[in-house]
Chains A and B, each alone.
Chain A
Amino acid sequence: MGVTAGREASRRALPGPRGLRPETRWAYLFLLPWLVGLLVFQLGPMVASLVLSFTDYDLIDSPRFAGLGNYAAMLEDPKVARAVGNTVIYTALHVPLAIAIALALALILNRVTGRAAGVFRTVFYLPSMTPYVATGVLFLFLLNGQAGVVNQFLGLFGIDGPQWTTDPNWILPGIVLMSLWNLGTTTIILVAALRNVPRELSEAAMIDGAGSWQRFRAVTLPMISSALFFVVIINTITSLQMFDQVYTMFFGNQSAQQSYGDSALFYVVYLFQQAFQFLHMGYASALAWLLFLVIGVITLIQVKVGNRLVYYEAEEQGA
C-alpha cells in the first residue's frame, strides 16, 4: 500500500521522460501486441536464425556449433550458385519488363475516362486475384510445349514454340512470361500516381511546345518517380523471394523433376528444401541470412540512388 502510494506521488510530481504517466502506460498497453510480436516473431527469430546459421541442427539432436562451416559450404554448393543465378536472371528480366508494360498500360489507362477506365483496370487486376498455385497450374497447361495455348498462338505466325516447361533453356523465360500476366498491383499503383500529376504542368509544357515524349520525360516521369521507385523496390524484393508458382510447377513431384535438372531452382525454393525436406536447419538459416543481407543491401542502394533520382513534391510528407 505504502509503496504504491509513494509511486503514485512521485509520478504526479515527476511527469518527466521516465515517470510513466497513466496515458503513457495506456499507450504501451495498446502497443503491447506489436511489441510482443516484434520480439517473438521478428527480432527473436532473426537473432535465432543468425545463431542457428553457425550450427548444424537437424531438429532431433541439439544444435552443434559449426563455426562458419555453413557459410563455407554455401560457397562451394553448386546448387546455391545455380539458385542464385536463376533468381538473379529472373529478377533482372521480370522487373524491367513488368514495370515497362505496367507503365505503358497505366499511361494509356490514364488517358481514358469514365466507365471504360474502371472496366479495364478491373480486367488488368484480375490475374492478381488468382492464387499463385492456381497461376502455376494454369501456366503448366498454357506453356505446354506440345499443345499449350502459347505455342498454338505462336504457331499461327509460323513460329515453332519451345518446350517451355521441360527444356532447361526455356524454363526461366517461361516463368518470366507467366510473371508478366500478373501486373495488376503495379499498374494500379502507377495509375494512382498518374492521377496525382497536376494537369496544369503538362498543359503548360504543351503550350511551350513540348511534344508528348518530352512532356513524358520532363513532367510525368519526375512527378511519378517516387511511385515508380517504390514499384521497382517491391517488384525486386518479391522477385528475389519467388516461391509459390515455381514450386507448384516444378517441385514436389519427384518423378517430374529429373528431366530439367535445376533450371527452375530458385533461391527460396532451395532454402525451403534444405530446411523442411532435408532438415538442415543450420544451413537453411545461413541461406536465409544471405538473402536477408542481399535484400537489405538492395533496399539501401535503391533508397540511396532513389534519393538522388526521385523528385519529391515539396509539401509531400515522407511517411
Chain B
Amino acid sequence: MTTIDRVQRPAAAPAATGAATDSAGRGTRKVFFLVVLAAASAIFLYPFVWLVVASLKPRDRTFADPFLPWPRPFAPANYAAVWDAAPVLGWLVNSVVVGVAAALTVTLSSAFVAFGFAYFHFPGRGLLFGSVLATMMLPAAVTLVPTYLIWNAAGLTGTQVPLWAGNLFGSAFYIFLLRQFLLGVPRYVFEAARVDGASYFDLFWRIALPLSRPALIIAFIFELKASWFDLMKPLIYLQDPALFTLPRGLKAIVDQFYQGGDPKWEIVLAAAVVTTLPLIVIFFLGQRYFVQGIATTGRRG
C-alpha cells in the first residue's frame, strides 16, 4: 500500500522534465553500468586467472606476484609432475565414465516418465505428479544412511555403481523439465502416429524423444555437471584410489600435499585445474542450454 502512495505522490510533477533529464543521462549511465560490470567481471574472473597462473609456477613462487596475470618463471613441468604424483588420468577417465553413465541414465529414464505424465490421462496423475514436485525439495542428507545400507546389502559398496545407478529411476527436476517441454508438443502429432498404428512405446521413442532434444541436452549436461561436482558419494562408496573420480582424487591430493612437512602446492593447483577445465569446456559448448535450463528452474517457483 505504501508503494502506491510513493508512486502517486510525485505524479504532480511535470512528466516532461523527468523524461528529458533521463534521456540526457542515459549515455553516461550506460558507461557507468559497463564500468561496474567490468569491475565485477574482474573480481569473478581473477580467481581463475590466479589458479591457472599459480599452477604454472614453481612451488616457491606460488604466492609471489599475486597480481601478475602470467606465470613468472614459467613451469609447465608441474603438469607432468601431477601425473607422476597421482593417477590423475585414471580419475579423469572415471569421472567421464561415471558422468556419462549418470547423465545418460537419468536423461532417458526421466524422459520415459515425463512422457507418461505428459501424454496419458489416468487416475492419480495429479497426486503422482505432486510426488515428483515434493521430492525436489527433499534434502539428500535425509536418505544418506538408508541409501548406503541398500547399496551395502546389494554388495555394491566399493564400486562406482552407487554413483550413477540411482539415476535409472529418473530424477524429479528433469521429469518436471521434460514434461513441461512435452506438453508444448501439439497433441495431433502423437494422435496422427497413433492412427498410423504406432504403439505407445513408438510414440515415446520415435516422436517424444527426438522432439524434446533441447530439453534432453539440458538434462544431460546438468546431470553431467552434478556428477562431476559430486564429492560425497565417492567419499562414501569408494575406497580404492584407482576408482576415484576427479573431485575425490583432488580431495586426496589436498589432504596429502597441501599441508604437512613437504607441501607440494604446484601439484594441488595443477590437479585443481585438471578437475575444473573439462567442465569449463563443456560450459562453452553448451552455454545456451545451461542458461535455458537455469531460467526454467526459476520459472518453476
| Chain A CB within 8 A of B169 CB | yes
Check if A111 sits within 8 Å of B19, measured CB to CB. Answer: no
Check if A137 sits within 8 Å of B47, measured CB to CB. Answer: no
Check if A31 sits within 8 Å of B116, measured CB to CB. Answer: yes
Residue of B nearest to A316 (CB): B299
| Chain A CB within 8 A of B198 CB | no
Check if A275 sits within 8 Å of B34, measured CB to CB. Answer: no
Check if A52 sits within 8 Å of B283, measured CB to CB. Answer: no
Q: Mark contacts of A106-145 with chain B using CB atoms, 8 A cut-off: 1 yes-contact digit, 0 otherwise.
A: 0011011000100011111111011111101111111010
Check if A120 sits within 8 Å of B41, measured CB to CB. Answer: yes
CA distance A23 to B131 in the complex (A): 21
In the complex, which of the residues A27, A34, A284, A289 contacts B132, with contact meaning CB atoms closer than 8 Å? Answer: A34
Check if A243 sits within 8 Å of B51, measured CB to CB. Answer: no
| Chain A CB within 8 A of B146 CB | yes
A319 and B251 in contact, given A33-B170, A40-B169, A131-B279 (Cβ under 8 angstroms) = no
| Chain A CB within 8 A of B70 CB | no
| Chain B CB within 8 A of A26 CB | yes
| Chain B CB within 8 A of A36 CB | yes
Check if B300 sits within 8 Å of A319, measured CB to CB. Answer: yes
| Chain B CB within 8 A of A200 CB | no
Residue of A nearest to B147 (CB): A45
Check if B10 sits within 8 Å of A211, measured CB to CB. Answer: yes
Residue of B nearest to A267 (CB): B141
A318 → chain B closest CB, angstroms: 9
Interface residues on B, range: 35 or more
| Chain A CB within 8 A of B128 CB | yes
Check if A23 sits within 8 Å of B120, measured CB to CB. Answer: yes
Instruction: Give the residues in chain A near B116, CB-CB below 8 Å.
Output: 27-31, 34
Instruction: Give the residues in chain A near B251, CB-CB below 8 Å.
Output: 133, 247-248, 252
CA distance A41 to B143 in the complex (A): 8
Count CB-based A-B contacts (< 8 Å): 321
| Chain A CB within 8 A of B186 CB | no
In the complex, which of the residues A28, A109, A248, A288 contacts B142, with contact meaning CB atoms closer than 8 Å? Answer: A288
Q: Is the interface of B mostly helix, strand, loop or mixed?
A: helix
Instruction: Give the residues in chain B near A130, CB-CB below 8 Å.
Output: 48, 276, 279-280
A46 and B287 in contact, given A26-B200, A108-B33, A141-B265 (Cβ under 8 angstroms) = no
Instruction: Give the residues in chain A near B41, CB-CB below 8 Å.
Output: 120, 123-124
Check if B166 sits within 8 Å of A131, measured CB to CB. Answer: no
Check if A272 sits within 8 Å of B44, measured CB to CB. Answer: no
In the complex, which of the residues B109, B125, B176, B231 contacts A33, with contact meaning CB atoms closer than 8 Å? Answer: B109
Check if A131 sits within 8 Å of B300, measured CB to CB. Answer: no
A149 and B204 in contact, given A34-B132, A46-B143, A291-B142 (Cβ under 8 angstroms) = no
A11 → chain B closest CB, angstroms: 14
Some 27 contacts from A to B, beta carbons below 8 A apart, are A31-B113, A34-B128, A35-B128, A38-B135, A38-B169, A42-B138, A46-B142, A49-B146, A112-B34, A124-B40, A125-B291, A126-B48, A136-B254, A137-B272, A152-B66, A189-B295, A192-B294, A192-B298, A206-B18, A209-B15, A210-B6, A210-B7, A218-B3, A253-B258, A284-B144, A288-B141, A319-B300
Residues of chain A whose beta carbon lies under 8 Å from any beta carbon of chain B = 17, 23-24, 26-31, 33-38, 40-42, 44-46, 48-49, 52, 59, 105, 108-109, 111-112, 116, 120-127, 129-134, 136-142, 144, 146-149, 152-153, 181, 185, 188-190, 192-193, 205-211, 214, 217-218, 222, 226-227, 229-231, 233, 237, 240-241, 243-244, 247-248, 252-253, 255-256, 268, 271-272, 275-276, 281, 284-285, 288-289, 291-292, 295, 299, 319
